[in-house]
């Protein structure tokens, strides 16, 4: 993929996948990002927010909390509003993923990560997690999704959450 792993539930059959992502901030306003890569090519890597597909009858908010717990082990979270919405399409693990992503704001004081519920594909494609300051993110040379995350985070920290979800540009990789 050249976008986020943490993107895989039961076999994906195509169509538009409903996804919930988490913009997780700690007390110092650092954001938690996961480090992912193509399963067979660790050099093809990027950073992304925790999250994944909605399962069964769960809400996107429930999916956001479940995915966060599975991918990071973090369960002590105050889940806030949906900040952003984004449509994206990207290749990953030999197939194309078409997603409708909602990004939830969340806060935590729990900064240690210990992924406990990774899928087999995630175990082969997620290399770890890191807390980033806005300044570090704005100076990063690594690929980060969503595009413009540093700018979006700066606006969030300066102005607070938007009155309603902002629609980000569609990204097709």
- Give the lowest-confidence range in 11-15, 39-43, 149-153, 156-160: 11-15
Average pLDDT over residues 154-171: 95
Q: Alpha carbon of 121 to those of 7, 99, 113, 127, 160: distances in Å? A: 9, 17, 19, 12, 35
Backbone angles phi, psi at 151, to 5 degrees: -65, -45
Strands of the chain (E only): list them.
Answer: 16-25, 31-38, 41-48, 51-53, 78-92, 95-107, 126-132, 144-145, 166-167, 171-172
Report whether pLDDT(158) > 80: yes
pLDDT tens digits, residue range 60-111? 999 999 999 999 999 999 999 999 999 998 888 888 889 999 999 999 999 9
Average pLDDT over residues 152-168: 96
Bridge partners of residue 24, in order along the sequence: 106
Q: Is 110 helix (H, G, I), strand (E, B) or coil?
A: coil
pLDDT tens digits, residue range 26-59? 999 999 999 988 888 878 888 999 999 999 999 9
Distance in angstroms (rounded) separating the CA atoms of residues 74 and 153: 20
Per-residue model confidence (pLDDT) at position 14: 61
Distance in angstroms (rounded) separating the CA atoms of residues 79 and 62: 10
Confidence of residue 126 (pLDDT cuts 50, 70, 90): confident
> What percent of the chain has pLDDT above 90?
67
Helix (H) or strand (E) holding 139: helix 134-139
């Amino acid at each position: 993929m050249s976008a986020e792993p943490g993107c895989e539930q039961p076999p994906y059959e195509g169509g538009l996948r409903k996804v919930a992502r988490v913009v997780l901030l700690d007390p110092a306003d650092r954001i938690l990002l996961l480090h992912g890569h193509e399963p067979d090519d660790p050099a093809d890597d990027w950073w992304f927010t925790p999250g994944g597909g909605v399962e069964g009858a769960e809400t996107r908010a429930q999916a956001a909390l479940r995915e966060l717990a599975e991918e990071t082990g973090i369960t002590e979270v105050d889940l806030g509003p949906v900040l952003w919405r984004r449509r994206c399409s990207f290749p990953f693990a030999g197939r194309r993923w078409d997603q409708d992503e909602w990004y939830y704001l969340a806060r935590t004081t729990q900064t240690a990560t210990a992924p406990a519920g990774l899928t087999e594909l995630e175990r082969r494609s997620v290399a770890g997690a890191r807390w980033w300051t806005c300044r570090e993110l704005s100076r990063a040379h690594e690929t980060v999704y969503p595009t413009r995350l540093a700018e979006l985070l700066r606006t969030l920290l300066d102005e607070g959450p938007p009155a309603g979800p902002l629609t980000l540009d569609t990204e097709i990789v």
